[in-house]
Structure formats: structure tokens, C-alpha cells
Amino acid sequence: MQTELRSSLAGNQCSDHLLHRLHDLQSRFQHIPAQEIPPLATELQLPISQVEAVIDFYSFFHRSPRGRIDLLFSNCTSCGDLSLMQQLCTSLDVSPGITRADGAVSIDETSCIGMCDQGASLLVNGRIMTRLNPQRLQQIAGLVNAGTPLDAWPAEWFAVPDHVRHPGLLLNDALQPGAGLRAAIQRGAENLLAEINQSGLRGRGGAGFNTSLKWQLCRDAPATTRYVVCNADEGEPGTFKDRVLLNTYAQQVFEGMTLCAYAIGAKHGYLYLRGEYRYLLPTLEATLAEQRAANLLGENILQQPGFNFDISIVVGAGAYICGEESALLESLEQKRGVPRVRPPFPVTHGYLGQPTVVDNVETLVAATHIAVQGGQWFKAQGTEKSAGSKVLSVSGDCATPGIYEFPFGTSLQQVLDACGGQDAQAVQVGGPSGTLVGQAEFGRKLAFEDLATGGSIMVYGAQRDLLAVVRNFSHFFAHESCGFCTPCRVGTPLLRKYVDKIASGHGTPYDQEEMARLAKVMKRRSHCGLGQTAANPLLDLLERFPHVCTDRLLHQDYEPFFNLDAALATTRTLTHRDDAEAHLS
């Protein structure tokens, strides 16, 4: 049986969490050395198979050494540019994924790192570097070859500005720390719940579950221990609003968690931070320390006898699926991030089997404002079914990518006008798991009842190849599928094969039909949201931009997947040949 994680002296980081211990090993040795695994398992009292399974599940742990400088280029359509990766590989004489023989450097790609408003970006030894360009890459190559330690690289390269372009209801509303808690304590827990209920607040992660109902169900679940978990595993490509909220509004995030704890009677909370945002950890820990000092966390909060609550931060290690709330809880419990069977739901059986509220970062920020300003203030904006505002992450082919907060019900066209994305041919709303729409639908409203979004708005200009975009997404999902259920585990790599085949000009109308049939099986029969949405971009493309696919199809009944020329690639590598004679066609 699992027990609650012991916290370190600092009180806010679970230093003995398996993910943190593995991160330490990875940082120290550039991989997880095999001989370190048995003693770690013994020390943490975990089965050795659990430690092994976790190492192989999360992308940021490796079995063989990475370079002392380990560069991971985002492969997102907004914050990635793999041509830059190829350029750096050439300058440093490195192949992607293979550490250079001297151990100095390794280069690879990684899923979206949430820097979509910052230009092409990468992670270097877990730190963020944005606004990449060929000149910067030359400088990086020089520093790597000179053996300059990362700490001596120019500090301004690691700056990540917020880019709040259009603040709205929440971001314009300056709050004093503790204002929400003071108001809540004055009202009492029941009235806080009533206020949240009146606000009509729904979860901002995308699913849109009624927040007050979630809190109420957790409060009513029979148990002595309850938990609040903040889902800061913002992994949906094109989404970065939680990054900004955590960077500048962390106080309101933590206060929202404390308000939830007050409402449901929780003593402990966890913020699960995606590994890509590890650079935010010092800011977040400093904020927690301030809040403890101000008696907004800890024992007898704001002199309320028995109101005890504290927050620990657990940092992920590269797994999109952990944004799914039950997979997140598995990850918190030091396991592979595999979504649980539901029912039961986390509100009754969550972390360690106890009733748990898992809320999105933005939801908790909104709750803090509602506690101060009241439900009516919030409900005055938005639509009947989608109250309040939405913090949008706008990126892609537009003049001013960044954070835009608009009331729900705002049309996509209004957002495009605001960000300078007027020449868009298509917009991916809600990230790859959302909806791909064309110009005919730009009048649609951003709202749960129309175009639902967790906040990602990816703009694609006229020059973009939409098949390349969809192909990127199908690679993303195949990389991120957890592997639990058949439709997703096998379906996502199959979709990738079909899209690759069509994109390379080898697809037939039959392939397209089979791909669509498979996509529908995955959508309807997968275990969780990842598999159920993985085929959305493809199905949307076929429905709204049919010519994009059909234009590339061969006019023949059948073309095998097996491509003899491609299969000879290994031979060409071995013989150091790539001339015309070494190719079949």
C-alpha cells in the first residue's frame, strides 16, 4: 500500500518522489545507470519492475548516456523547427538521438515544450531556450565545442517573456494575496461553494466539468483524507497559458488550491508540473514560501483553528498523457501514467484511492477571483453555458502570438483579427486533440457549446501544407500514446504509417478509406481522451479540406506499404553511397 510522500525539510518538494530521484540520477550521469536502480528501488520500497517501468515510460529518462549538453528541439508546429535541428546536427557532427562519441553533446526532438509564442525553441539540459535562429545555433555550436558549461552561456538566452497581449476579466483584475481566502472564510465553506456554483465556472482544461459540482462531490465523498491536485501538465501542443499563469499569477493558483481545500476539507495538495516547465520551480517554491510566511498556507491558515493545508510540487518527466487526470494521479503515485478505468472517478477514488479534486491551473485562478468578486461578477461575461472568460494561447502564422483573454462566446474571427492572423487558411482550435476549422467556420464561437478549447489556438497561414500539419500531429499522438488499450496503442502508429504513406506520394484511395475507417474505430473505442481524439485532425482534414489528401493519392487500386528503395537505406548507409545508382528510382 502506498503512503503519502514524505516531504523534504523545505516542505514543498517531495525529494523522494521516484520521478525526482530519477531526474537527479539523469542529471548526474546523463542517464539512469543500471546499477543505481536496485538500491533506489530498495530505498523507496518499490518493486524493481515499477522503477524500470517508470524509466521506460517517461521521455526524459534514458538508458544510455546523453551528451553533457543535451539539446531537445521542440517538434511542435508552432514552437518547433526541425530544419534548425538538422543545421545544428551538421555543425556539431551529431546524428539526432545519438550522443557524440566524445560525450559532449546529443541532439534530439521532443514534443511541444509550450513556447509557441517564442519562436523556435529547445530544451537544453532541461532549461528553456527560445527565439532560435541560424546565428544563435552557430553560437551554441561554438560554446558546445569549447566545452563552456551551461551556466556560463548568456543568461538572456534563457529568458521566457509572458507576452500577455490582451488581458481580460481575470488578468486585468489585480488581487491582494489572501483576498480570496479572507472572503471565503468570512462567507464559510458552504457559501464559497454556492458562489462558485453561481459563477457557472467550468473546468478550463477542455472537458468543462462543472467546478462547484466537482468540489461538492469530493466534499460529500465519505473519507477522512481528501486531496487537491492542480493539473499543471500543460502538454497540448499550442498551449502555454498555464506557463504564464504559473510564472506571474502563481499566488492565485495556489490560493485557488487552498480555497478548494477549504471547501472540501483537504489537508494536502499537489501541483503536478510538466517536466518541460521545470525552470518555473524556483519561482513557484518562492511563492509557496511567501504564502507560508503570510499564513496563507500551513497550520491554522488566517488564524482559523484546524484549517491546515500545504502544497507540494511534483515534476513530470515528458509524458503528454499525464495531463489526463487519472494518468496524472498514477504518475503522482510514482507509476507509469496510464489512465485509470472510470468509474470510479477521482472525486471519490483519486490520489491513493482518496477523494481528490483535480483542477486545471486556470480554473483555480478563476476560483480565486470568484471568491473575491463573487459569482455574478464572473457570470456577467461569457455565454449562458460557458460563463466567464477564457485565457487563450495563440500561436502560429500570426503577427503577435501570445496570451489573449476573451469572454467565452468570442468568435474565432475576432481572435484572428486581434492577433494579426487574417490570412489564415485554417485554425486548429484546442490543439491536436481539438478541431481543425477552415475559413467558412471562422465565425464560430469559442465556447463549450460550439468550439471547445482548453486554450490552444494554432493559426495556419495560406502557405502552410495542412497535410504536413496533420502528419505532425499523427506522429505526436503515436509518440505519446500510453500503450494501455489496443485501439490507441496500435491505432496511433498505424495512422502515422497511413499519413506518412499518403504524404510521401505512395497512398491510394483505398489507403485513405482504410485510414478513415481505422480513425473512427479509435475515436469511438479507445480507453481515454488521447485515443478518442488522436484521429480528430485527420478526420477534420478529410472532411473540411478533402483535396489536401486526395491531391496526393496515386491513381491506382493498390500500392504496398513496403517500399524497396526505402528498405535499401541501411545498405546505402553501410556502403557510404547515396548516388543515383544506389537508388531504384
Partner 1 sequence: MTNNTLFIDGQEIPFEAGQTIMDAALAAGIYIPHLCHKPGLSPHGSCKLCTVDVDGRSASACTLPASNGMQVDNNTPALNEVRKTLTQMLFVEGNHLCPTCSKSGDCTLQALGYHFGMLDGHFPPFYPRREVDASHPSVMLDRDRCILCELCVRASREVDGKNVFAISGRGAQSHLIVNTVSGKLGDSDLQTGDMAAHICPVGAILIKDHGYEVPIGMRTFDLHSVAESDVASPVTLKKTEHHDA
Of residues 252 and 492, the one with the C-beta less far from partner 1: 492
Least distance to partner 1, CB of residue 207, Å: 16
Of residues 57 and 227, the one with the C-beta less far from partner 1: 57
Of residues 325 and 511, the one with the C-beta less far from partner 1: 511
Of residues 235 and 375, the one with the C-beta less far from partner 1: 235
Of residues 127 and 489, the one with the C-beta less far from partner 1: 489
Least distance to partner 1, CB of residue 177, Å: 40
Q: Which residues lie closer than 8 Å to 343 by C-beta, 6 or more apart?
A: none
Query: Facing residues of 230 across strands?
Result: 271, 359
Least distance to partner 1, CB of residue 62, Å: 13
Phi, psi (degrees; rounded to nearest 5) at 346? -55, -30
Angle between helices 179-187 and 250-264 (to 10 degrees): 20
- Asked if 261 and 185 count as a contact pair (C-beta separation under 8 A), the reply is no
- Asked if 269 and 227 count as a contact pair (C-beta separation under 8 A), the reply is yes
Half-sphere exposure of 68 (CA within 13 A, CB side): 13
Taking alpha carbons only, the member of 225, 263, 280, 272 closest to residue 115 is 280
Least distance to partner 1, CB of residue 49, Å: 4
The DSSP call for residue 423 is T
Of residues 317 and 469, the one with the C-beta less far from partner 1: 317
Query: Facing residues of 69 across strands?
Result: 105
Least distance to partner 1, CB of residue 342, Å: 9
Instruction: Find the distance separating the first CA and the last CA of the chain, reported in whole Å.
Output: 61
Least distance to partner 1, CB of residue 519, Å: 11
Least distance to partner 1, CB of residue 539, Å: 16
Whose grid coordinates read 545544428? Answer: 88
Tell me the C-alpha to C-alpha distance, in Å, between residue 549 and each of 361, 409, 470, 541: 38, 32, 10, 8
Least distance to partner 1, CB of residue 52, Å: 5
Of residues 226 and 527, the one with the C-beta less far from partner 1: 527
Of residues 458 and 478, the one with the C-beta less far from partner 1: 478
Q: Which residues lie closer than 8 Å to 285 by C-beta, 6 or more apart?
A: 10, 12, 13, 313
Least distance to partner 1, CB of residue 532, Å: 9
| 243, three cell numbers | 506557463
Half-sphere exposure of 164 (CA within 13 A, CB side): 16
- Asked if 368 and 180 count as a contact pair (C-beta separation under 8 A), the reply is yes
Cα distance between residue 227 and residue 350, in whole Å: 8
Taking alpha carbons only, the member of 336, 408, 367, 464 closest to residue 54 is 336
Cα distance between residue 340 and residue 330, in whole Å: 8
Angle between helices 179-187 and 189-199 (to 10 degrees): 110
The DSSP call for residue 446 is B
Of residues 232 and 485, the one with the C-beta less far from partner 1: 485
Which contiguous run of DSSP H or E holds residue 517? helix 509-525
SS3 415: helix
What's the one-letter identity of residue 14? C
Least distance to partner 1, CB of residue 484, Å: 5
Of residues 53 and 399, the one with the C-beta less far from partner 1: 53
Half-sphere exposure of 552 (CA within 13 A, CB side): 21
Q: Which residues bind partner 1 (CB under 8 A)?
A: 37-38, 47-50, 52-53, 55-58, 319, 336, 341, 343, 478-487, 489-494, 497, 514, 517-518, 521, 524-527, 561
- Asked if 349 and 260 count as a contact pair (C-beta separation under 8 A), the reply is no
Of residues 165 and 525, the one with the C-beta less far from partner 1: 525
Taking alpha carbons only, the member of 380, 468, 479, 368 closest to residue 97 is 479
Least distance to partner 1, CB of residue 16, Å: 21
Of residues 331 and 356, the one with the C-beta less far from partner 1: 331
Of residues 171 and 317, the one with the C-beta less far from partner 1: 317
Least distance to partner 1, CB of residue 54, Å: 8
What's the one-letter identity of residue 33? P
Least distance to partner 1, CB of residue 108, Å: 15
Least distance to partner 1, CB of residue 477, Å: 9
Of residues 444 and 506, the one with the C-beta less far from partner 1: 506
Buried b (16+ CB within 10 A) or exposed e, 457-472: bbbbeeebebbebbbb
